[in-house]
Amino acid sequence: MSRFSSIDVQRLRWFTAVAEELHFARAAKALHISRQKLSHTVIDLETELGTKLFVPGAQPTQLTDAGRELLREARDIIARTEDPAGTAAVAPATLRVGFVPGVTVTKWERIWGERFPDTPLELAPVAQADQETALREGRIDMCFVRLPIDRGGLNAIPLYRELPVVVVPKDHEIALFDEVGMADLADERLQDTADIDTVKDAIELVAAGVGVAIVPHSIARLHHRRDLVYRTVTDTDDTEIALAWPPDRTTDSVEEFIGVVRGRSQNSSRSPAGKSTEPEPRKPNPSGKRPRPVRKPAPARKKPARGRKR
């Protein structure tokens, strides 16, 4: 029996709401209770269990190892409470997929909806600075990330690369060219865009005439403005988008979503659903003799038409 089974289900639901939102105010609003009451419930739980469930003082809110363990157990306990018999009537678990700025997921969302209409897909925008934390804390099941990331404890499938572009004012001399090299930008003030999530501020500075900014092509499109243009930079590193997930949470839904993203057909033998439709292997011949191949009669050959002699 789980050591958490003695906790009443209502408190587990309240804790789960905070653990999934990682935001006390939003969780309290969703539960239609006061933030103070929710905080007191979590404090009481921590006192009862003798451990911290959330990292003290962390901004944004983060789960401890004990908090992640309780979250896994709480989800199972709540599911069993809602369907004590454990029958197939339990609603399919939602597949939660995050994506960093610049990634467009509408195509994969459409295909998923067509193939798996009974399995909810929840798409969540994730700040690049938070992409690893969101995965490791279980807030999302998978995430379209921008590499590099720490691969420890994570699987990652590289999907595509993005060309870097330089963003400049429309009347800048660089706007006259289709592409430029870093040498062409030697005299320019480059805005810091190492943190893609604050790139909007850098773009604002460029629009104000303060330097230029080098960003991935999709980010430039995302922050497109009429007073700015972007041109390909030919000799600096490009960036790579990958689909990442923790290997210990590789469910059938995760496998199916990987297949959707990689372009597998609906009945692919590599998908969980497709495996059940594979043809059965041939049964051995009990006589042990190899069956003779059936020879088809050769088609009748037509006589070539005689041509006229010259």
Please write the tens of the pLDDT for every residue from 175-221: 999 999 999 999 999 988 876 677 889 999 999 999 999 999 999 99
- Spatial CA neighbour of 161 closest among 242, 244, 240, 215: 240
Same domain, 251 and 118: yes
Using the structure block, give the residue that is written with the tokens 């969302």.
109
Asked if the structure places residue 48 within a domain, the reply is: yes
Q: Which domain holds residue 227?
A: 164-237
| Radius of gyration of the chain, Cα coordinates, nearest whole angstrom | 29
Using the structure block, give the residue that is written with the tokens 């451990």.
51
Helical (H) or strand (E) element with 16 = helix 9-21
Same domain, 202 and 220: yes
- Say which CATH number the domain at 146 has: 3.40.190.10
Asked if the structure places residue 303 within a domain, the reply is: no
> Which band of pLDDT confidence, cut at 50, 70 and 90, is reported for residue 300?
low
- Angstrom distance (rounded) from CA 152 to CA 110: 31
Same domain, 233 and 244: no
Q: Which tokens sit at 145?
A: 């990330």
Asked if the structure places residue 293 within a domain, the reply is: no
Same domain, 258 and 122: yes
- Angstrom distance (rounded) from CA 127 to CA 129: 5
User: For residues 197 and 140, is the Cβ–Cβ distance under 8 A?
Assistant: no
Length of the chain: 310
Strands 95-99 and 142-146: what pairing?
parallel
Domain total in the chain = 3
DSSP 3-state assignment of 290?
Answer: coil
Instruction: Look at residue 285 in the predicted model and tell me its pLDDT.
Output: 55
**Is the pTM value of this prediction over 0.85?**
no
Q: pLDDT for 64-77, tens place per residue?
A: 999 999 999 888 88
- Spatial CA neighbour of 11 closest among 55, 53, 62: 53
Same domain, 121 and 252: yes
